[in-house]
Amino acid sequence: MATVATMAVNVIAQTGGFDKGLDKASAKTKGFGSSIGGAMGAMVNPAVLAAAAVAAVGMALMKVNAAMERLDEVAKKSKSLGISGQTLMEFQHAAELAGVSAGGMSKGLQKMQKGIGEAMGGTGLAKDALEMMGIELESFGKLDAEEQFLQLADKIASIQNPAERAAMATAMFGRAGADMLPMLLQGREGIEGQMDALKGLQGELSDADFQAIEDANDAWTRVGKAFDGIWNQLAVLLAPAFEWLADTIVLVIKWVRNMVDWFKNLNGVWKGLIAVASPLVGAIMWVAGAFSDEEEVIEKLGDAKGKIDAQTLAGLEAEQKALEEAAKAREALEQKGVKLTDSLRNPMEMYNDTISELNMMLDAGVISWDTYGRAVEKAQDDIKKSEEFAAKEIKVAERAAVGVGLRGRGAFSMQQKQVRALEKLREEERLQLKQLQQQTNLLQQLNNNVQTGTVVTI
């Protein structure tokens, strides 16, 4: 007994550390379980669940909308091809497995039906292709499009020559025929097997199902049109307000532009005065008066402001003086240009200008007819004097021509040309003077008639 008791004591003593380790492990396991429970509690937060539900519903609606659009397109296309929507989807599935797009399959079927219709009328490439494949056209034309396609697939798959196969496929299905060859080579059995596989994957939709899809899409189209109508009415309702807003913006832009132009036209002194009236200096003065009891600070700020104003005004006055001097120099230069232009005018140009000025003054009523007539006579005397001067110049040229004649006929010929030019100029001036005298006589006659009250028809 003592031995057994001693052994029991030894065992308990030696396993005490192991028991403590088990206790610690148990405590850690419980802590880990608590942390996992807290995380799961956070994950099942109602807000998180609600957000996940909304996202799932949104995703589901997007998928449903995409499916409705796809089925609506299949329904409309199948009606144009004369087959059911389910058959068209099955054909498209088999085509996609062979590497042909759904659109390419639809175009191939359209080309097939067009070719068969032309063949029944005795024309087209399809007629020759059907005869070469041994297809009796009259009975073949009475079949539906699905059966026609499957029979053509069997006929083309049985052709051994690859070039002939490609030619037959192209003749019956157009440019898509070459791409459809991998599908057609499966024949009726392979294609129908893939059609049945799609039914096993997606189920089968009836014509009524496709019609329901079309009706739903049409209903949503009407909803969209109704909303468009609301926006149209709102646009009409708000049009006057938008017009007023646009007109107001235009007026504001014009006002701003006019203010900019006005400021550009200000001279340097006014710009300086506006610049001197800076709000910054006023703000400094206000802060000094509000937060300082020291009159000295305020006085110093005032002095500083005065110095700044004086310096600014002095600089602006110097700039203004420079601008005025430049303007005076410009004016003097322009006057010299006018004098130079006047000095280069010939007697007839000066006479025409004088008559134009006299006509304007007479029309304005600032001179009398008597003054007008005397002024015209004086202008005519002036141009006659200029003619006498021209005549003298011609005589001088003639004498020079006679003197030069002794030196050679070539020089004399040149002088003759100059004399003829001067005579021609003199003749033109004489004709112009004659016309001006006639105008003066006519005006004088009109003046006399006005004074005597006599009516004369010209």
3-state secondary structure the chain: CHHHHHHHHHHHHHHHHHHHHHHHHHHHHHHHHHHHHHHHHHHCCHHHHHHHHHHHHHHHHHHHHHHHHHHHHHHHHHHHHCCCHHHHHHHHHHHHHCCCCHHHHHHHHHHHHHHHHHHHCCCCHHHHHHHHCCCCHHHHHCCCHHHHHHHHHHHHHCCCCHHHHHHHHHHHHCCHHHHHHHHHCCHHHHHHHHHHHHHHHHCCCCHHHHHHHHHHHHHHHHHHHHHHHHHHHHHHHHHHHHHHHHHHHHHHHHHHHHHHHHHHHCCHHHHHHHHHCCHHHHHHHHHHHHHCCCHHHHHHHHHHHHHHHHHHHHHHHHHHHHHHHHHHHHHHHHHHHHHHHHHCCCHHHHHHHHHHHHHHHHHHCCCCHHHHHHHHHHHHHHHHHHHHHHHHHHHHHHHHHHHHHCCCHHHHHHHHHHHHHHHHHHHHHHHHHHHHHHHHHHHHHHHHHHHHCCCCCC
Question: The tokens of 41 are what?
Answer: 């509690």
If one compares 49 and 40, the residue with the highest pLDDT of the two is: 49
If one compares 19 and 171, the residue with the highest pLDDT of the two is: 171
The predicted-structure confidence for 409-445, as pLDDT tens digits, reads as follows 454 465 566 667 767 777 777 787 777 777 777 777 7
The predicted-structure confidence for 205-250, as pLDDT tens digits, reads as follows 988 888 888 888 888 888 988 989 899 998 998 999 998 999 899 9
Decide: 112 and 173 in contact? Cβ < 8 Å: yes
Res. 34: pLDDT tops 60: no
pLDDT of residue 262: 73
Res. 294: pLDDT tops 80: no
Q: How far apart are CA 400 and CA 442, in angstroms?
A: 42
- Report, as an integer, the average pLDDT of 298-322: 68
The predicted-structure confidence for 129-139, as pLDDT tens digits, reads as follows 999 999 998 89
pLDDT of residue 147: 92
Read off the pLDDT band of 362 (50, 70, 90). confident
Read off the pLDDT band of 376 (50, 70, 90). confident
Res. 404: pLDDT tops 60: no
pTM, two decimal places: 0.40
If one compares 101 and 362, the residue with the highest pLDDT of the two is: 101
If one compares 456 and 304, the residue with the highest pLDDT of the two is: 304
Q: How far apart are CA 33 and CA 146, in angstroms?
A: 64
Q: How far apart are CA 351 and CA 429, in angstroms?
A: 11
pLDDT of residue 407: 47
Q: How far apart are CA 156 and CA 175, in angstroms?
A: 16
Average pLDDT, the chain: 76
| Residue 180 identity (one-letter amino acid) | M
